[in-house]
């Protein structure tokens, strides 16, 4: 087991280093004049401004030195540099934004679990039933219907037609619980229903496996009602593997954040990334994709390790 | 032709390998493929979109930039669907129906362009990793893991913000996210093919590694990669529309489905203009759905092991 964990951790460290190099490299392959592009001003940049931007970005140094300084500052003091356009420090705003994104993200995962687990259990108990077919349909739709479309459909229903929810905005649950829940319903449903399909599939297959086990047969044989067999015997073991996919779900949440935060005006990382990309404030883009990618690498690592703990077959020899 | 075919049939009634019998596996394949659930409607949808993309210019439609005017010369804007404009008009009087049809081109071009881009780079990377194994394998696959760590849309968004927004850049930006998926599949195929006797035979007669990869490993990796091209095209279409929706896609006035959905979003709160986003949105969903069904169908037919597993599920 420890061999497996060590190998996976080492692999992840290599991937994180590659991710950092990639995030850095993307912005050094700029076509044309990098200073002009990074300043956000284009070719009309004045010589003074050019010198200032070069100094700020360290572009007057060699490329390895630039990379070293960028990573060094981040690792040593969480300093991601500052926005070329507004001169504000990226690091301090990043923490705010990351909190908001994770706030919505965890709520989304809870929604996915709340819908997905019962749906998965139902479809495992009664294969080919209505619930089972619904789960299949959800997974097909979850892949084909993009997040922006789901978002607009929800707005059309909850805001325009029924007028029961605010169209946009965001409040944290500990600041204003009621407003927070209302503001989170639509954003969490957009990605939450996709997650629920993933959760339901995972729940279904692990429940089907558990229902074949001897102890379930024993429970039935001693005359327990089916409901008790499922609730007391099958569910506990059947739900354990579902925990392992939280990492996968988190990755999907980050991918969806770009769209969801844009539609519902949530001041998170996704919205910041889009604004920065539109204004070509590339240091922010660079910092955002680095943080998101590292979060996903960590999420995948935790997924694999939890799989390894639960299922010895996964581990290396 | 018919006589020739008849003449080449052996006494036992078995045809000697000729044109027709060489095509036999393809016919069996098509018959099985078409029997997979929902594959027929999915193929139909894909073909219809393909025809629209090719022939949209010869359709009797108003141009996608043409602004409809009434008899007083005023722009007919915000029209809900009617006989003149089946999908309505937008804020400056452009015909939504025409724009939706014209946008099919961008969607299919980026969809298949990005997907093929991923295959062209993913195949050699995966084959080299799986065939060489060891350090090369480890290095290439960690590199692929690094690419996979960026969600597709986010990677595309970052690349487009650097490269600029013309269609080739968008194809490349979306396509890079497809590379690791193809590479992983090709690697798995290469790992199994390299253990086959015919590879050993090739090595025995002194074929170079490059030759073995090109002649034996590559052809055997094609089938699963085709599946991935179909699924990858669906992802790419969603990503392209996502970029356009965020304002980072193909530049206006060239119509894109994502851009049209975004225009609809701006007015959705007024309760009007649903036709601006519902029709292009439905096109995205239909096209991606059909590509997914086709991809899954291909996988079911091409991989007999999976076929059994699916039926038993």
Q: Using CB atoms, which residue from A15, A262, A296 is nearest to B246?
A: A262
Is the sign of the CA dihedral B245, B248, B251, B254 positive or negative? Answer: negative
Does the pLDDT value for residue A165 go beyond 70? yes
Does the pLDDT value for residue B28 go beyond 80? yes
ipTM over 0.85: yes
Does the pLDDT value for residue A225 go beyond 80? yes
Let me know: does A98 contact A80? Beta carbons within 8 Å. no
The residue-averaged pLDDT of B41-55 equals: 96
Contact B234 A143 (CB under 8 A): yes
Mean pLDDT of chain B: 86
Q: Using CB atoms, which residue from B145, B158, B247 is nearest to A26?
A: B158
Amino acid B1: pLDDT: 45
Contact A258 B274 (CB under 8 A): no
pLDDT confidence of B271, banded at 50, 70, 90?
A: confident
Digit-coded pLDDT (tens) for A22-67:
998 887 776 666 677 666 666 677 788 778 777 777 777 778 888 8
Maximum alpha-carbon separation in chain B: 83
Those residues with Cβ within 8 angstroms of residue B248's Cβ, 6 or more apart along the chain or in another chain: A274, A277, A278, B157, B160, B161, B165
The reply to whether A254 touches chain B by the CB within 8 Å rule is yes
Amino acid B88: pLDDT: 86
Is the sign of the CA dihedral A47, A49, A52, A54 positive or negative? Answer: negative
Let me know: does A21 contact A10? Beta carbons within 8 Å. no
A vs B, Cβ pairs < 8 A, gives 136
Nearest of B85, B110, B105 to residue B95 by alpha carbon: B85
Does the pLDDT value for residue B312 go beyond 50? no
The residue-averaged pLDDT of A195-201 equals: 90
Amino acid B310: pLDDT: 39
Amino acid B125: pLDDT: 95
pLDDT confidence of A201, banded at 50, 70, 90?
A: confident
Query: Using a CB-CB distance cutoff of 8 angstroms, which residues of chain A are in contact with residue B277?
Result: 149, 152
Mean pLDDT of chain A: 86
Contact A259 B153 (CB under 8 A): yes
Q: Looking at CA atoms only, how far is residue A9 from chain B in angstroms?
A: 12
Q: Which of A289-303, B7-21, B103-117, B186-200 has the highest mean pLDDT?
A: B103-117
pLDDT confidence of B269, banded at 50, 70, 90?
A: confident
The residue-averaged pLDDT of B109-118 equals: 96
Query: Using a CB-CB distance cutoff of 8 angstroms, which residues of chain A are in contact with residue B159?
Result: 26
Give the Cα separation of A196 and A187 in Å (integer).
14
Query: pTM for this one?
Result: 0.88
Give the Cα separation of B65 and B93 in Å (integer).
9
The residue-averaged pLDDT of B245-259 equals: 92
Does the pLDDT value for residue B306 go beyond 70? no
Q: Hey, is B69 helix, strand or coil?
A: strand
Amino acid A188: pLDDT: 95
- Number of neighbours of residue A123 by Cβ within 10 angstroms: 24
Amino acid A126: pLDDT: 83
């Amino acid at each position: 087991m420890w061999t497996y964990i060590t190998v996976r951790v080492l692999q992840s460290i290599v991937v994180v280093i590659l991710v950092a190099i990639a995030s850095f490299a993307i912005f050094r392959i700029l076509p044309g004049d990098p200073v002009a592009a990074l300043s956000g001003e284009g070719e009309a940049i004045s010589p003074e401004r050019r010198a200032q931007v070069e100094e700020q970005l360290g572009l007057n140094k060699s490329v390895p030195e630039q990379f070293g300084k960028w990573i060094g500052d981040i690792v040593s003091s969480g300093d991601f540099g500052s926005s070329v356009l507004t001169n504000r420090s990226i690091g301090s705003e990043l923490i705010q934004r990351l909190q908001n994104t994770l706030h919505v993200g965890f709520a989304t995962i809870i929604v996915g679990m709340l819908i997905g687990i019962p749906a998965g259990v139902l479809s495992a108990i009664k294969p080919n039933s209505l619930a089972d077919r619904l789960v299949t349909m959800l997974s097909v739709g979850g892949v084909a219907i993009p997040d922006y479309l789901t978002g607009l459909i929800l707005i059309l229903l909850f805001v325009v037609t029924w007028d029961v929810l605010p169209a946009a905005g965001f409040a944290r649950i500990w600041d204003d619980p009621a407003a927070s829940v209302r503001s989170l319903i639509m954003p969490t449903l957009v990605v939450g229903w996709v997650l629920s399909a993933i959760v339901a599939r995972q729940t279904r297959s692990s429940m089907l496996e558990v229902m074949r086990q001897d102890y379930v047969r024993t429970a039935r044989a001693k005359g327990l009602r089916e409901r008790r067999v499922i609730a007391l015997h099958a569910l506990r073991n059947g739900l354990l593997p579902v925990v392992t996919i939280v990492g996968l779900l988190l990755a999907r949440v980050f991918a969806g954040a770009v769209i969801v935060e844009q539609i519902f005006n949530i001041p998170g990382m996704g919205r910041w990334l889009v604004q920065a990309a539109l204004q070509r404030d590339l240091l922010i883009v660079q910092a955002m994709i680095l943080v998101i990618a590292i979060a996903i690498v960590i999420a995948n690592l935790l997924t694999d390790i939890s799989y390894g703990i639960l299922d010895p077959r996964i581990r290396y020899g | 032709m018919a006589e020739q075919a008849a003449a080449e049939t052996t006494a036992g009634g078995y045809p000697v390998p000729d044109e027709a019998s060489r095509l036999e596996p393809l016919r069996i394949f098509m018959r099985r493929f078409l029997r997979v659930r929902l594959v027929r409607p999915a193929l139909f949808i894909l073909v219809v979109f393909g025809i629209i993309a090719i022939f949209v210019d010869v359709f009797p439609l108003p141009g996608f930039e043409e602004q409809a005017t009434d008899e007083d010369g005023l722009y007919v804007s915000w029209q809900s669907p009617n006989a003149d404009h089946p999908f309505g008009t937008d804020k400056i009087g452009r015909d939504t129906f025409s724009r939706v049809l014209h946008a099919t081109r961008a969607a299919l071009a980026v969809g298949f362009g990005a997907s093929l881009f991923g295959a062209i780079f993913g195949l050699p990377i995966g084959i080299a990793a799986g065939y060489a194994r060891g350090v090369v394998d480890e290095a290439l696959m960690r590199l692929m893991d690094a690419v996979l760590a960026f969600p597709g849309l986010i990677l595309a968004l970052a690349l487009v913000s650097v490269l600029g927004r013309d269609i080739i850049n968008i194809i490349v930006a979306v396509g890079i996210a497809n590379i690791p998926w193809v590479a992983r599949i090709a690697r798995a195929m290469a790992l199994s093919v390299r253990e086959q006797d015919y590879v050993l035979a090739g090595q025995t007669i002194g074929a170079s590694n490059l030759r073995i990869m090109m002649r034996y490993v590559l052809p055997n990796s094609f089938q699963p990669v085709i599946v991935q091209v179909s699924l990858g095209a669906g992802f790419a279409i969603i990503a392209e529309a996502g970029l356009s929706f965020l304002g980072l896609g193909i530049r206006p006035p060239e119509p894109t489905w994502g851009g049209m959905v975004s225009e609809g979003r701006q007015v959705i709160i007024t309760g009007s203009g649903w036709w601006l986003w519902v029709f292009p949105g439905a096109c995205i969903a239909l096209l991606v759905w059909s590509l997914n069904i086709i991809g899954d169908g291909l996988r079911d037919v091409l991989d007999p092991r999976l076929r059994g597993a699916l039926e038993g599920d």
